[in-house]
Amino acid sequence: MLRSNYTEIAFLAALITLCFSVNATSMAVGNATLMENDTNIATNGITSDRNGTFSFTNLSAGNYTLTAYKCILGAMHFLGNSPISVSGNVENVTLKLSRSNDTCFSEFQNATVNLTRGNCSISGTVLGSNRPGAEPAEIPYEDAQVKITRISSMGEKA
């Protein structure tokens, strides 16, 4: 019995080590893969922090569409997007989420873009509705997925 417990513990320790070593280098968001440890790669999907803030760096100039997603209570989809023209650093972008549907969520999940490395950035906050009757009416949404869902060059529309 004691030997069996040691075997199970050793197996779990190996499994946990494997999970941590795989997840330390990349994290999947929809169809986008984020390389967290390489600052030279522009990423097209991130998660907002506890203040609802997000930031994309190493982007080339262009017209982007940012889309944010949050699942509430395990079943209600909330999405919001914003077109943004980038020729330098863009700050204070606000993505406001509202109730959505499965079709829009599927489009968000399946959206992929090919990013070109540059020296522009986009940062902002994801906001959504507070519970009914609570103040303020909108609050920052933590752990929202924020993704670049469309891109075009400066002469085209996103």
pLDDT at 100 > cutoff 60:
yes
Q: Hey, which residues does 34 pair with through a beta bridge? A: 27
pLDDT at 7 > cutoff 50:
no
Higher pLDDT, 89 or 28: 89
pLDDT cut 70: percent of the chain above it: 70
pLDDT cut 90: percent of the chain above it: 47
pLDDT at 26 > cutoff 70:
no
The first and second tokens of residue 23, run together, are 């997840």
Higher pLDDT, 114 or 141: 141
What does pTM read for this prediction?
A: 0.68
Which of 55, 15, 19 has the alpha carbon at shortest distance from 34? Answer: 55
Are 71 and 141 spatial neighbours (Cβ–Cβ below 8 Å)?
Answer: no
> If residue 8 lies in a helix (H) or strand (E), which one and from where to where?
helix 2-23
Question: How sure is the predictor about 10, in pLDDT bands with cuts at 50, 70 and 90?
Answer: very low
What is the residue extent of each domain of the chain? Answer: 2-152
Least confident of 24-33, 53-62, 74-83, 132-141: 24-33
Question: How sure is the predictor about 22, in pLDDT bands with cuts at 50, 70 and 90?
Answer: very low
